[in-house]
């Protein structure tokens, strides 16, 4: 935990209300996110029990599996969920924009992308398992499922894969979003409870943060946000209701039992549904960070690319090959580096953390030679001098390169550091002429901020092709031949339709 | 036949594509690399050498070029690399950015990151230094460049790390987050690593402690006797706790300078101040190190201060600024890997913390910090770390197919603390 975060937490504990950790929103929040609250049957890895889904606060859809141990019903649930999710995905494909390409023809990119919000990281884990259990299913043969079910699996897998990428906004857990923007006076473990977290952020009238958080720990007043259910509810309500469904002698009785189950599950889900929308309101009130649009563009790019491959493609592989794993890890790490830099540039409060550790400094320009030329080389080069006075703890030393946070691509060399003043020699970001472009060199009296870090340009990594996987990594994988119990192509064929359970 | 001879014999006689050599701290890893390189070139092979940082590459060049001034060495580097003095001093070293420049040179050496940018070219042999520090995805990127390879490294040091926290590859034999050697051995299970059995760096007082805590099943011994290593001061100490800690370190090779228990932020001002004062006092008292290499004063260049986090390093550097101790190396465990000093001062990774995370419990971190010294190691920290450890047993998830790693960081920490408690000097109130 950084010093400023620790301070914010102490302050929150002292005052009884949450403290901001950010001044802008660092994630995209679309006009119409799909809120999805999954519940699973306890004791099972990924047996869906219920879900509350929708894009409008007033109009949640409630999906229920009357007997989660019955696999037909489970995949019936998957088909219902698929209808909602797939139509939402389709609605994001309404508009496109043209992206210029090298050949001048341009290509199309969707101007929107799906955005699914779940209460907590457990929700993502559950969706990943649900995606894994549905994307290889057959639509004909011995245990057929509806055509939309494997398709749902592929989309859920795309969402969960994409969610691993730092800075992506297509699938996000609400607790992490909130905890990234506000500090509470409780532990990070307690912050994982959406109700308790929101109690600190937005306590009901007349309550302090700690009181509201304590109230949220009562599962009767504030049922867990899933995917795990409250054990008390499991024993006292759910078990008798499932037993009643199993015992029901006829369709009518079974429908009545299902209705009772739906009412009970609605009571479990509705409080969380409200919490999700209140959280969205809180996040919407923050202005969006400057780099968020760019990161969302990456999400839309990935969405377009994946959507194009859906009709003819295969379900995603069960595991990454050695080459694919290495490529993905490098991509994730670069995204993380980029996110860290962009968050600091977008948000003075995040930058303050870096200023405290000496990785950045901010100050006032007290002297400047904007037209200074370096004449030591063959041709004179524009190298303006800036003297910056700062009260930040300084870690830079002579010869370091620093980057102007206020002007992308502007680098400077540290010439001298002396008791709170830094002499800088600007070396780029001023145009190509011998006189700087107007406005490109900070003037005396300007407030500037320089960082020791910057978003580096990375060339794409050189990796061997799959068929040249080296001997150190097991050699090239054998060509994939679908087993008797596996389907690979979409749409799956009837030839070998058996269930895959791993 | 010694282990080194066996390794050299394997290089020319064995049919294996890979040879792995495990080396505990200071067991002559660099010497082995130099000998292996000369052995291979003498047999007429050309080879590539892979190290992990520019610093390590330059160190290796210095040793290799010095050992064999007739050997032509190519140093492949990035465009912004500036040759260090110790590289420029050798006339048999050529620095270039493209491998084409080295067609006549039997040895080409570069960092793994630089090797990974090559798309063609192949060498019959590679020597991979600090192979346990290299990540498996890096090996994947460079493995196409060589036919056979010698992997040398210290399994007890820090594992390679990643800035992202993803579990999707856990249990895969080619998990890109694993070290290069772990993945190599997983795919070539018949390979049996050689082990260098003697540490020439660590004194007797440290070899046993480090071996027990961090190498429980692959123990090693000190190459020197207790009588050969001695640390003494030119001036007598005064009554203060700093001097008592220094005297304890000189006498026994270890000192645990204990501050009163307290929860602090990472850059604990009192601990930083204590470590800076101890370093300065060590210089002021004119320490002299007597060893098998003769006697020499312990100057600022023979002392290092290690910490877990970069901000702690910055704070300590700031505390030393302007004093006689300013020239002392202060760095994180990652950067101190592979380095050697006479005396080290360590800010204990768990000092003042409220919790013990996997990062702070990692055995490699403490192992690096407590195994850099030839004479003495002084650890500074707050009281209450054993209680903190007891309150935070490791809770890392266990994954199928992932081999259990020894030693366990929690246990290694306890083992070192148990030893340090016998050399405790409490801070003055």
Tens-place pLDDT, residues B104-158: 899 999 999 999 999 888 999 999 999 999 999 999 999 999 999 999 999 988 8
Residues A403 and A269 in one domain: no
Instruction: Look at B187 and A332 and tell me if their CB atoms are within 8 Å.
Output: no
- Considering only CA atoms, give the Rg of chain B: 22
Residues A351 and A290 in one domain: no
Tokens of B131: 């192979």
A23 occurs within a structural domain: yes
Residues A252 and A306 in one domain: yes
Domain boundary among A318, A338, A373: A318
Least trusted range by pLDDT, from A216-220, A494-498, B263-267, B288-292: A494-498
Size of interface A-B (CB pairs under 8 A): 96
CA–CA gap between residue A163 and residue A170 (Å, rounded): 7
Residues A84 and A227 in one domain: yes
| DSSP bridge partners of B329 | B304
Q: For residue A338, give the chain B residue with the closest CA.
A: B163
Residue found by looking up tokens 């379900």 in the block: A315
A219 occurs within a structural domain: yes
Domain boundary among A427, A451, A475: A451
Name chain B contacts of A475, Cβ cutoff 8 Å: 187
Helix pair B310-320, A348-357: axis angle to 10 deg = 50
- Evaluate whether B40 touches B11 at the Cβ level (below 8 Å): yes
Instruction: Give the domain range for residue A419.
Output: 347-451
A476 occurs within a structural domain: no
- Provide ipTM, 2 decimals: 0.90
Partner A contacted by B122 (CB < 8 A): no
- Evaluate whether A498 touches A484 at the Cβ level (below 8 Å): yes
Instruction: Look at B140 and A469 and tell me if their CB atoms are within 8 Å.
Output: yes
Residue found by looking up tokens 């579990």 in the block: B167
Residues A91 and A211 in one domain: yes
Mean pLDDT value across chain B: 92
| Inter-residue long-range contacts of A314-317, CB under 8 Å, 24+ positions, other chains counted | A314/A488, A314/A489, A314/A490, A315/A135, A315/A136, A315/A150, A315/A153, A315/A154, A315/A157, A315/A488, A315/A490, A316/A135, A316/A154, A316/A157, A316/A158, A316/A161
Residue B292 in this model has a pLDDT that exceeds 70:
yes
A465 occurs within a structural domain: no
Provide the terminal-to-terminal Cα distance of chain A, rounded to the nearest Å.
39
pLDDT in tens, chain A (502 residues): 788 999 999 999 999 999 999 999 999 999 999 999 999 999 888 899 999 999 999 999 999 999 999 999 999 999 999 999 999 999 999 999 999 888 888 889 999 999 999 999 999 999 999 999 999 998 888 889 999 999 999 999 999 999 999 999 999 999 999 999 999 999 989 999 999 999 999 999 999 999 999 999 999 989 999 899 999 999 999 999 999 999 998 889 999 999 999 999 999 999 999 999 999 999 999 999 999 999 999 999 999 999 999 988 889 988 899 999 999 999 999 999 999 999 999 999 999 999 988 889 999 999 999 888 888 888 888 899 999 999 998 888 888 899 999 888 899 999 998 878 999 999 888 888 888 888 889 999 999 999 999 877 777 888 999 989 999 999 888 776 655 554 444 444 444 334 443 3
| Inter-residue long-range contacts of A80-84, CB under 8 Å, 24+ positions, other chains counted | A81/A48, A81/A51, A81/A53, A81/A152, A82/A146, A82/A148, A82/A149, A82/A151, A82/A152, A83/A148, A84/A53, A84/A54
Identify from B141, B354, B400 which residue to disrupt to test chain A contact, counting A C-beta atoms within 10 A and taking the largest count. Answer: B141
A288 occurs within a structural domain: yes
Residues A300 and A376 in one domain: no
Q: Return the CATH number at A430.
A: 2.40.30.20
A502 occurs within a structural domain: no
Q: For residue A3, give the chain B residue with the closest CA.
A: B265
A377 occurs within a structural domain: yes
Instruction: Look at A474 and B187 and tell me if their CB atoms are within 8 Å.
Output: yes
Q: Which of A152, A154, A132 is nearest to A63 (CA)?
A: A152
A189 occurs within a structural domain: yes
φ and ψ at A360, to 5 degrees? -150, 160
Residues A363 and A400 in one domain: yes
Q: B164-185 pLDDT, tens per residue?
A: 888 899 989 999 999 999 999 9
Of B166, B172, B173, the CB nearest to A164: B166
Q: For residue B149, give the chain A residue with the closest CA.
A: A472
Q: Which pTM was predicted?
A: 0.90
CA quadruple B181, B97, B59, B37: dihedral sign? positive
Residues A354 and A311 in one domain: no
Enumerate chain A positions whose Cβ falls within 8 A of a Cβ in B. 3, 6, 164, 166, 319-323, 325-326, 329-330, 332-333, 336-337, 357-358, 393, 395, 459, 461-464, 468-475
φ and ψ at A274, to 5 degrees? -65, -45
CA–CA gap between residue B136 and residue B174 (Å, rounded): 7
Q: How many separate domains does chain A show?
A: 2
Residues A389 and A304 in one domain: no
Residues A175 and A85 in one domain: yes
Residues A11 and A88 in one domain: yes
Instruction: Look at A326 and B141 and tell me if their CB atoms are within 8 Å.
Output: yes
Residues A172 and A265 in one domain: yes
Partner A contacted by B144 (CB < 8 A): yes
Residue B396 in this model has a pLDDT that exceeds 80:
no
């Amino acid at each position: 935990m950084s010093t400023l975060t620790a301070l914010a937490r102490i302050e929150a504990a002292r005052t009884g209300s949450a403290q901001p950790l950010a001044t802008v929103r660092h994630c995209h929040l679309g006009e119409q996110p799909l809120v999805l609250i999954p519940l699973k049957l306890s004791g099972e890895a990924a047996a869906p029990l219920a879900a509350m889904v929708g894009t409008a606060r007033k109009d949640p859809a409630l999906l229920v599996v009357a007997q989660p141990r019955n696999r037909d019903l489970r995949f019936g649930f998957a088909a219902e969920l698929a209808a909602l999710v797939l139509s939402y995905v389709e609605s994001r494909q309404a508009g496109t924009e043209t992206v210029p390409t090298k050949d001048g023809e341009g290509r199309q990119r969707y101007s929107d992308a799906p955005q699914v919000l779940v209460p907590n990281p457990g929700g993502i884990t559950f969706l990943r398992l649900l995606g894994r259990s549905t994307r290889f299913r057959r639509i004909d043969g011995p245990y057929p499922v509806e055509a939309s079910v494997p398709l749902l699996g592929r989309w859920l897998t795309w969402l969960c894969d994409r969610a691993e990428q730092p800075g992506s906004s297509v699938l996000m857990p609400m607790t992490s979003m909130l905890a990234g923007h506000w500090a509470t006076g409780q532990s990070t473990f307690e912050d994982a409870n959406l109700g308790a977290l929101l109690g600190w952020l937005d306590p009901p009238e007349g309550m302090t943060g700690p009181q509201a958080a304590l109230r949220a720990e009562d599962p009767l007043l504030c049922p867990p946000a899933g995917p795990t259910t409250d054990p008390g509810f499991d024993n006292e309500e759910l078990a008798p209701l499932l037993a009643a469904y199993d015992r029901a002698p006829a369709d009518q009785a079974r429908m009545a039992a299902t209705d009772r189950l739906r009412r009970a599950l609605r009571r479990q889900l509705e409080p969380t549904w409200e919490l999700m929308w209140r959280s969205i309101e809180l996040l919407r009130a923050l202005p969006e960070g400057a780099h968020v649009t760019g990161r969302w563009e990456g999400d839309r790019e990935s969405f377009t690319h994946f959507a194009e491959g859906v009709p003819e493609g295969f379900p995603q592989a069960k595991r990454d090959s050695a080459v694919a794993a290495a490529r993905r890890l490098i991509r994730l790490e670069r995204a993380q580096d980029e996110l860290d830099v962009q968050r600091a540039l977008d948000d003075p409060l995040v930058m303050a953390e870096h200023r405290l550790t000496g990785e950045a400094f901010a100050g006032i320009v007290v002297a400047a030679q904007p037209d200074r030329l370096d004449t030591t080389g063959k041709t004179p080069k524009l190298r303006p001098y800036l003297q910056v006075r700062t009260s930040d703890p300084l870690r830079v030393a002579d010869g370091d390169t620093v980057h102007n946070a206020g002007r992308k691509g502007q680098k400077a060399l540290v010439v001298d550091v002396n008791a709170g003043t830094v002499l800088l020699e600007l070396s780029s970001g001023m145009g190509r002429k011998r006189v700087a472009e107007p406005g490109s060199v900070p003037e005396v009296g300007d407030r500037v901020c320089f960082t020791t870090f910057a978003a580096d340009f990375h060339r794409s990594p050189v990796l061997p092709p799959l068929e040249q996987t080296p001997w150190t990594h097991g050699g090239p994988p054998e060509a994939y031949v679908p087993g008797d119990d596996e389907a690979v192509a979409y749409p799956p064929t009837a030839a070998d339709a058996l269930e895959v359970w791993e | 036949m010694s282990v080194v001879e066996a390794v050299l014999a394997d290089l020319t006689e064995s049919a294996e594509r890979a040879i792995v050599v495990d080396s505990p701290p200071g067991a002559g890893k660099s010497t082995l690399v130099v000998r292996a390189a000369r052995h291979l070139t003498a047999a007429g092979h050309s080879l590539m050498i892979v190290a992990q940082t520019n610093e390590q590459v330059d160190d290796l060049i210095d040793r290799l070029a010095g050992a064999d001034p007739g050997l032509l060495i190519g140093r492949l580097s990035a465009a912004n690399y500036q040759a260090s003095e110790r590289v420029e001093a050798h006339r048999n070293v050529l620095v270039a950015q493209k491998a084409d420049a080295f067609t006549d040179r039997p040895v080409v050496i570069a960092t793994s990151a630089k090797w990974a940018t090559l798309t063609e070219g192949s060498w019959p042999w590679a020597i991979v230094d600090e192979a346990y520090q290299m990540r498996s995805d890096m090996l994947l990127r460079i493995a196409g460049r060589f036919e056979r390879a010698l992997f040398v490294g210290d399994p007890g040091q820090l594992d390679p790390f990643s800035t992202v926290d993803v579990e999707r590859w856990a249990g895969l034999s080619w998990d890109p987050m694993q070290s290069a050697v772990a993945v190599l051995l997983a795919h070539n299970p018949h390979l049996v690593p050689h082990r260098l059995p003697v540490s020439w760096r660590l004194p007797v007082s440290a070899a046993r402690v480090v071996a027990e805590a961090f190498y429980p099943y692959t123990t090693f011994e000190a190459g020197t006797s207790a009588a050969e290593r001695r640390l003494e001061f030119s001036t007598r100490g005064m009554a203060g706790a700093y001097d008592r800690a220094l005297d304890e370190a000189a006498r026994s090779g270890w000192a645990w300078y204990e501050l009163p228990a307290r929860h602090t932020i990472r850059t604990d001002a009192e601990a930083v101040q204590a470590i800076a004062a101890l370093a300065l006092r060590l210089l002021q008292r004119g320490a002299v190190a007597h060893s098998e290499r003769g006697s020499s004063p312990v100057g600022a260049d023979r002392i290092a201060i290690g910490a877990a986090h970069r901000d702690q390093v910055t704070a300590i550097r700031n505390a030393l600024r302007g004093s006689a101790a300013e020239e002392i190396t202060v760095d994180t465990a990652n950067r101190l890997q592979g380095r050697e000093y006479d005396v080290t001062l360590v800010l204990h990774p768990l000092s003042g913390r409220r919790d013990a995370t996997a990062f702070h419990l990692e055995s490699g971190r403490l192992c690096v910090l407590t195994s850099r010294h030839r004479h003495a190691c002084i650890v500074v920290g707050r009281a209450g770390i054993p209680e903190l450890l007891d309150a935070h047993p490791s809770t890392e998830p266990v994954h199928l197919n992932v081999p259990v790693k020894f030693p366990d960081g929690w246990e290694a920490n306890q083992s070192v603390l148990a030893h340090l408690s016998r050399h405790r000097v409490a801070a003055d109130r």
